[in-house]
Structure 1
Amino acid sequence: MKMVGIRLLLAAGILLILELMVINVAGLLPFVAAHKSDVSGALYMDFFRNSLLNPVESSIVLVEGKNPLFFIGSAGAVVLAMYAVFFAKDRKAEYQLADRYGVYGKARWARKNEIFVPNETVSIPAKQLMHDLEASMMETRGEK
């Protein structure tokens, strides 16, 4: 249940960003057509600031003007946000497949049959290992 809530919040955030982009793009074309004689940057900055600060008002103007780009863009934004959050594959699948085969550049857990290869791994009793370790430490003290 917690994951669904996080995904819905993520979908809402993505949808908000995409919808703001749709409002700006759909409103820009009629704005440019209406103000093609005045090409000053301040006029366009006022348009973008107004559409970002008042997205509901800008949307109402676009709906009342029956702007087809706004309707198509809004539908596309909803579909894209839902696809990105709910239907896109998890990225973990790529890493879960890596344990089935050896791949350079990818870390994976080794299997026991890869570590303990017959006739390659030598087992030493713990007492013998400690004896060899102590003997090697005594040898290095005597060399100094």
Structure 2
Amino acid sequence: MIRTIPVLAAILGAGLAGNGIFMLSSPEAWYFAVPGVTTTGPFNQHFLRDIGLIFVLIGLGFVYGAVRPGLRVLLWCMGAIWLSGHALFHFWEVAVGICGPEVLSRDFPAVTLPALIAVAFSVWSFRRADR
């Protein structure tokens, strides 16, 4: 696990950064390519690029943390906090009636699962930080 977790975190980071690069380079294509996004509101190029920057930075944080153990806890926890907030926001939208509960299963692979994985990696890195 000592070597596996950083590799998996780097893969997660590459995926997050890749998503962000897609959002930055082709926001309209991203908007129409990702299931359910069109139901969340009208296309907004500026907003998508803002969020794309966040995904690139978080992704690079996971990749860099994979190769720099001394920074791992900080970088992975910061990414996990944002990803978790994003996932909780999706749950909040259901709770207040903005979206129906069916969106939770649709969004799970791209929203909730990465947050859960990031939290697990962060806990792992925190537990190993004293060693």
TM-score, length of structure 2 as denominator length: 0.29
User: Between Structure 1 and Structure 2, whose CA radius of gyration is higher?
Assistant: 1
Higher share of residues assigned helix: 2
